[in-house]
């Protein structure tokens, strides 16, 4: 349970995320970064740390083919490889012949923001921002309300507001900018 926010503005990506780790009964703060760089990808992960550990240690993605659309590349190479390592390492959940995981990813690729859902579908939205995790609703409202604020303030404040109203989001808040 967590909250991760990414905003695309002025050809930069601004990211903020919290430090919560736990469940409905325990409240701890983690030292590990919930957003990591992996080659040309920046990945924010909600769910269990195990998912991030698998990505950091096992995920390899072939280079994008010339003329291949970014979304096609992410579906065919990134999401399918993610699905395979989850299955190979016993991290997948199978329900009604549908493989999924409890993790949701915020993916930045070529300065575009994507969401990879628990069933490995890849989406890109029309908004200039994306919020994922248990604080999504609070952070999304904050991002909309703060639309005229500077981008670095906007993403950090969205996490602060989520932390104020969602018991599975907490400070300290970490931020980064992809230029």
d(CA 35, CA 45): 7
Share of the chain above pLDDT 90, in %: 84
Give residue-wise pLDDT tens across range 71-114: 999 999 999 999 999 999 999 988 888 889 889 999 999 999 99
d(CA 3, CA 173): 10
Average pLDDT on 12-20 reads: 96
Query: Residue 114 in contact with residue 82, Cβ under 8 Å?
Result: no
Query: Residue 34 in contact with residue 45, Cβ under 8 Å?
Result: yes
pLDDT value of position 102: 87
- Domain 3-178 is of which CATH architecture? 4-Layer Sandwich (3.60)
Query: Residue 52 in contact with residue 46, Cβ under 8 Å?
Result: no
Structure tokens belonging to residue 86: 């989850």
Query: Residue 15 in contact with residue 175, Cβ under 8 Å?
Result: yes
Q: Quickly tell me which residue has 């996490």 as its tokens.
A: 159
> Where do the domains of the chain lie?
3-178
d(CA 175, CA 76): 30
pLDDT value of position 149: 98
- Measured in degrees and rounded to the nearest 5, phi and psi for residue 148 equal -90, 0
d(CA 110, CA 107): 10
Phi-psi region of 66 (alpha: psi -120 to 50; beta: other; left: phi over 0): beta
Does the structure show a pLDDT above 90 at 136? yes
């Amino acid at each position: 349970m967590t909250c991760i926010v990414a905003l695309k503005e002025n050809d930069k990506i601004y990211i903020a995320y919290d430090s919560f780790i736990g469940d409905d009964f325990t409240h701890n703060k983690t030292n590990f970064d919930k957003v990591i760089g992996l080659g040309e990808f920046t990945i924010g992960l909600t769910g269990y740390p195990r998912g991030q550990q698998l990505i950091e240690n096992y995920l390899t993605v072939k280079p994008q083919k010339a003329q291949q659309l970014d979304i096609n590349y992410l579906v065919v190479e990134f999401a399918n490889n993610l699905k395979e390592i989850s299955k190979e390492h016993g991290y997948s959940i199978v329900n009604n012949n549908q493989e999924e995981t409890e993790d949701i990813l915020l993916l930045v690729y070529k300065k575009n923001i994507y969401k990879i859902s628990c069933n490995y579908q890849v989406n890109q939205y029309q908004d200039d921002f994306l919020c994922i995790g248990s604080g999504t609703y609070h952070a999304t409202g904050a991002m909309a309300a703060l639309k005229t604020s500077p981008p670095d303030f906007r993403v950090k404040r969205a996490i602060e507001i989520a932390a104020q109203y969602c018991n599975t989001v907490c400070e300290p808040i970490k931020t980064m900018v992809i230029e």
